[in-house]
Copies of this chain bind each other. A is one copy, B any other.
Amino acid sequence: MKAVRFSAFGPPMDVAQLVDEAREALKPGEARVAVLATPINPSDLLTLTGEYGMLPKLPATPGNEGVGRVVEVEDSDAVSPGDLVFLPTGAGTWRTHLTAKAAELLPVPPGLDLIQASMMAINPPTAYLMLRQFVTLQPGDWVIQNAANSAVGRYLITLAQVMGVKTVNVVRRESLAAELKAQGADVVLTDTDELPQQVKSATNGAKVRLGIDAVGGDSTRRLGDSLATGGVVVNYGAMSGKGPKLSAAASIFKDISLRGFWLVRWMRNASREEQNATFARLAELMSVGTLQTAVDGTYPLERIHDALQRAMEEGRNGKVILTPNPAT
């Protein structure tokens, strides 16, 4: 049994090490899960470098989501050996095996692609909930987002389309336009101070009431200045390294408000029913192929350094996935 571990914050390839783990006996109610697939998310890289807003006590094992197969259960009927399950969110998933409470393991619905399913717990609900929790959108309404080429951004394009909501997608590189449009983006614009005028023109003056921000700093301000009076900017990331801001005119005269979204808070506060309904809906969209994200490559745990290097490269073609055990 092996795990990725880091004992200091720093460049991911310097601090991440593959270590052996002892096989500890399960306690009653626990299950041992062999990890089949677990992605490298941007928040994992920021956790390794020490730049993320919430940092673990060290030493720690990175990784927050994935899928696995139950290999052993102690005194519980909740799952059985052989079951395919989602890994508990935030469990430190970059390892060959992890121990979890059997009753908290959710089954992977039949027919799901396991690599796609390994990415279902964080980014899809983030996109799904941001489209629903702040502004009531109707078919034909518009939403604007930056970082549109990120995993969340791509899911958001698809999930908005399913709702009949149109998207303005803000990117740094104009070269991404064709690809995003092929995926269903209605409008793609680059992130400049002309954004508000360009949004107005591209949407025929539609009242855009929801902005989704993963960048922070001036990029948040441009989204805010692109919204109609009373609009809401939802901030869920700070890729620029800066916190979100608004112009005084947007804040005071246009009643634009700024809200934060953090999936962990939703998981703490939402009822079990609401969470199950959300994941069931996303699994359904994933199983019919509506919701899927590009995969750049898969790596066994031994190649963690290659995987991290690739995950940090610009111009990848999708997610980097760790596959600690072959899916049999």
Instruction: Please tell me if the beta carbons of B257 and A258 are within 8 angstroms of each other in the complex.
Output: yes
Asked if A81 lies at the interface with its beta carbon under 8 angstroms from chain B, I say no
* Of A54, A243, A262, most B-chain CB atoms within 10 Å: A243
Report the stretch among A181-189, A198-206, A245-253 that lies at the interface.
A245-253
Q: B-facing mask of A250-278, CB < 8 A → 1, else 0?
A: 11111111111110010000000000000
From the candidates B216, B221, B252, name the one contacting A237 in the complex (CB within 8 A).
B252
Question: How many subunits of this chain does the assembly comprise?
Answer: 2
Asked if A39 lies at the interface with its beta carbon under 8 angstroms from chain B, I say no
Asked if A53 lies at the interface with its beta carbon under 8 angstroms from chain B, I say yes
Asked if A238 lies at the interface with its beta carbon under 8 angstroms from chain B, I say yes
Can you list 8 A-B pairs with a CB-CB distance of less than 8 A? A236-B252, A242-B248, A243-B248, A244-B251, A246-B258, A251-B258, A251-B259, A257-B260
Q: Hey, which chain B residues are within 8 Å of A242, CB to CB? A: 248
Asked if A64 lies at the interface with its beta carbon under 8 angstroms from chain B, I say no
Instruction: Please tell me if the beta carbons of B262 and A235 are within 8 angstroms of each other in the complex.
Output: no
Nearest opposing residue in chain B for A225, CB measure: B243
**Alpha-carbon separation in the docked complex, A151 to B101 (Å):** 58
Instruction: Please tell me if the beta carbons of A248 and B221 are within 8 angstroms of each other in the complex.
Output: no
**A262-B258 contact given A243-B221, A245-B244, A247-B243, CB 8 Å threshold:** no
Q: Hey, which chain B residues are within 8 Å of A237, CB to CB? A: 248, 252
Instruction: Please tell me if the beta carbons of B258 and A252 are within 8 angstroms of each other in the complex.
Output: no
Q: B-facing mask of A213-252, CB < 8 A → 1, else 0?
A: 0001000010000000000000111100011111111111
Instruction: Please tell me if the beta carbons of A246 and B245 are within 8 angstroms of each other in the complex.
Output: yes
**Alpha-carbon separation in the docked complex, A53 to B258 (Å):** 19
Instruction: Please tell me if the beta carbons of B262 and A255 are within 8 angstroms of each other in the complex.
Output: yes
**Alpha-carbon separation in the docked complex, A245 to B240 (Å):** 14
Nearest opposing residue in chain B for A240, CB measure: B248
Instruction: Please tell me if the beta carbons of B260 and A238 are within 8 angstroms of each other in the complex.
Output: no
Instruction: Please tell me if the beta carbons of B265 and A251 are within 8 angstroms of each other in the complex.
Output: no
Q: Hey, which chain B residues are within 8 Å of A260, CB to CB? A: 246, 250-257
**Alpha-carbon separation in the docked complex, A109 to B263 (Å):** 53
Q: Hey, which chain B residues are within 8 Å of A248, CB to CB? A: 53, 216, 235, 237-238, 242-244
